[in-house]
């Protein structure tokens, strides 16, 4: 077994481009006082039935706690895949199993550190529940550290880029989406849930993460864009951004009952039930960005831009945090794209 292990290590290092000359001898020296045996895996076969039963109990606890269907769905999908990859009954998983799993995912599967941290986060929640329920006397995740990630500063749109995006909008619907995102700092999941009847005096209550409601406000541009969009619609769908039929088709010159494809929302027969899905809004703003010649256009960047511009224009960070629906100001600070020029201007204004 010692020979097999040494050969495996040397082959792995060689495949990574490491000079392996003399490595085998050094490994034998290091292992001379150790006995190496292959782990018996026959008794550690994954008990899918038990894993599934405990996973269902965990998801039920999340539901009682008030987690959204989307969050519960993510836990269900991701934990099922993770536990299947680990290949052991979940009650027998150790900290070493999880460390090996993460290492394999990073080095062999090539996932990003962000994805790896997300998977660790799912496991951390699952095993904290198992420990609290006394299903496992010890929580293996307490020994697993968070993976360190390089902090990459994410940029907001410049004011010039905002104007280019506005100019690239071709329909009232596109303008309404862009203006609401810039005015409110909403998440795209919050945007699509806005109902027409809930808008009053330039404001609306949106349903955020964790089923937490908050009020957001429309500036004049957003109010005008929404009204223009609604004036062009002849349907009875209650949502500001309704679901549509055949939205997978790309805009072209083909007409649908005299209505050009990009103006599908003007034809009641092309309006579906319920709200538009977040993915189609993301596709929409990316297309607008390509037309505008602006890179990396996506809904969350509008949220960062809204917060950054508000702070630059004098809104206290506590109010910016409340506008975004953050519980902690430290979360808001991650969103802000403030340059040295912003700091210099603030210093001239506030420091004696």
pLDDT digits over 169-184, tens only?
999 999 999 999 999 9
Q: Which of 280, 323, 279 is nearest to 304 (CA)?
A: 323
What is the pLDDT, as a whole number, of residue 335?
A: 66
What is the pLDDT, as a whole number, of residue 42?
A: 43
Q: Are 78 and 88 in contact (CB under 8 A)?
A: no
Average pLDDT, the chain: 84
Extract the tokens encoding 111: 């996932």
In the chain, CATH 1.10.443.10 covers 159-345
Confidence of residue 227 (pLDDT cuts 50, 70, 90): very high
Give the strand pairing for 259-260 and 213-217.
unpaired
Tens-place pLDDT, residues 293-338 = 999 999 999 999 998 888 888 888 888 888 888 877 777 777 676 6
Confidence of residue 128 (pLDDT cuts 50, 70, 90): very high
Extract the tokens encoding 317: 């960070």
Query: Does 17 or 108 have the greater pLDDT score?
Result: 108
Query: Does 8 or 168 have the greater pLDDT score?
Result: 168
Query: Does 43 or 124 have the greater pLDDT score?
Result: 124
Alpha helix (H) residue ranges in the chain:
2-15, 23-30, 48-65, 69-86, 95-107, 113-132, 159-168, 172-184, 188-191, 220-232, 278-292, 299-312, 317-324, 329-335, 340-350
Confidence of residue 261 (pLDDT cuts 50, 70, 90): confident
In the chain, CATH 1.10.150.130 covers 47-143
Residues 108 and 78: their CA atoms lie apart, in Å, by 19
Query: Does 303 or 9 have the greater pLDDT score?
Result: 303
47-143: CATH topology = DNA polymerase; domain 1 (1.10.150)
Q: What is the mean pLDDT of residues 76-103?
A: 92
What is the pLDDT, as a whole number, of residue 314?
A: 83
Q: Are 14 and 20 in contact (CB under 8 A)?
A: yes
> Of 13-27, 34-48, 197-211, 256-270, where does the model show the most confidence?
197-211
Q: What is the mean pLDDT of residues 257-282?
A: 85
Confidence of residue 69 (pLDDT cuts 50, 70, 90): confident
Please determine, for residue 108, whether its predicted confidence score (pLDDT) is greater than 70.
yes
Q: Are 292 and 302 in contact (CB under 8 A)?
A: no
Any idea which of 93-97, 281-285, 315-319 has the lowest mean pLDDT? 315-319
What is the pLDDT, as a whole number, of residue 44?
A: 42
Percent of the chain with pLDDT over 70: 86
What is the pLDDT, as a whole number, of residue 351?
A: 52
For 338, other C-beta atoms within 10 Å of its C-beta total 15
Any idea which of 64-78, 225-239, 241-255 has the lowest mean pLDDT? 241-255
Q: Are 190 and 329 in contact (CB under 8 A)?
A: no
* Residue 197: C-alpha distances to residues 92, 181, 203, 327 (Å): 52, 19, 11, 28
Q: What is the mean pLDDT of residues 278-305?
A: 94
What is the pLDDT, as a whole number, of residue 338?
A: 63
3-class secondary structure, 37: coil
First CA to last CA distance, the chain: 72
Please determine, for residue 195, whether its predicted confidence score (pLDDT) is greater than 60.
yes
159-345: CATH topology = hpI Integrase; Chain A (1.10.443)
Any idea which of 10-14, 114-118, 310-314 has the lowest mean pLDDT? 10-14
Please determine, for residue 252, whether its predicted confidence score (pLDDT) is greater than 60.
no
């Amino acid at each position: 077994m010692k020979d097999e292990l040494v050969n495996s290590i040397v082959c792995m290092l060689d495949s990574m481009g490491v000079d392996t000359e003399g490595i085998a001898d050094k490994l034998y020296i290091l292992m001379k006082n150790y006995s190496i045996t292959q782990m018996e895996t026959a008794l550690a076969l994954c008990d899918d039935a038990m894993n599934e039963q405990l996973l269902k109990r965990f998801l039920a606890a999340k539901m009682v706690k008030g987690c959204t269907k989307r969050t519960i769905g993510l836990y269900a999908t991701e934990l099922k895949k993770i536990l299947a990859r680990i290949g052991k009954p979940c009650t027998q998983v150790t900290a070493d199993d999880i460390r090996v799993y993460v290492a394999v995912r990073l080095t062999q599967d090539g996932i990003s550190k962000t994805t790896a941290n997300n998977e660790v986060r799912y496991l951390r929640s699952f095993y904290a529940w198992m420990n609290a329920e006394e299903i496992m006397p010890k929580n293996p995740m307490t020994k697993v550290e968070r993976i360190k990630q390089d902090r990459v500063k994410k940029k907001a749109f410049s004011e010039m880029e905002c104007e280019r995006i506005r100019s690239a909008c071709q329909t009232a619907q596109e303008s309404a989406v862009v203006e609401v995102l810039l005015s409110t700092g909403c998440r795209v999941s919050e945007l699509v849930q806005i109902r027409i009847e809930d808008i009053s005096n330039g404001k609306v209550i949106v349903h955020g993460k964790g089923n937490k409601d908050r009020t957001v406000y429309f500036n004049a541009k957003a109010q005008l864009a929404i009204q223009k969009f609604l004036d062009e619609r002849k349907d009875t769908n209650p949502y500001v951004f309704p679901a549509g039929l055949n939205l997978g088709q790309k805009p072209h010159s083909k007409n649908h009952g005299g209505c050009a494809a990009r103006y599908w929302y003007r034809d009641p027969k092309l309006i579906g039930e319920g709200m538009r899905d977040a993915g189609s809004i993301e596709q929409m703003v990316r297309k607008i960005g390509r037309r505008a010649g602006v890179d990396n256009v996506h809904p969350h960047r509008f949220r960062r831009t809204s917060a950054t511009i508000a702070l630059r224009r004098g809104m206290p960070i506590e109010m910016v945090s409340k506008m975004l629906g953050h519980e902690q100001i430290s979360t808001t600070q991650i969103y802000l794209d403030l340059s040295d020029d912003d700091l210099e201007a603030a210093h001239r204004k506030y420091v004696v």
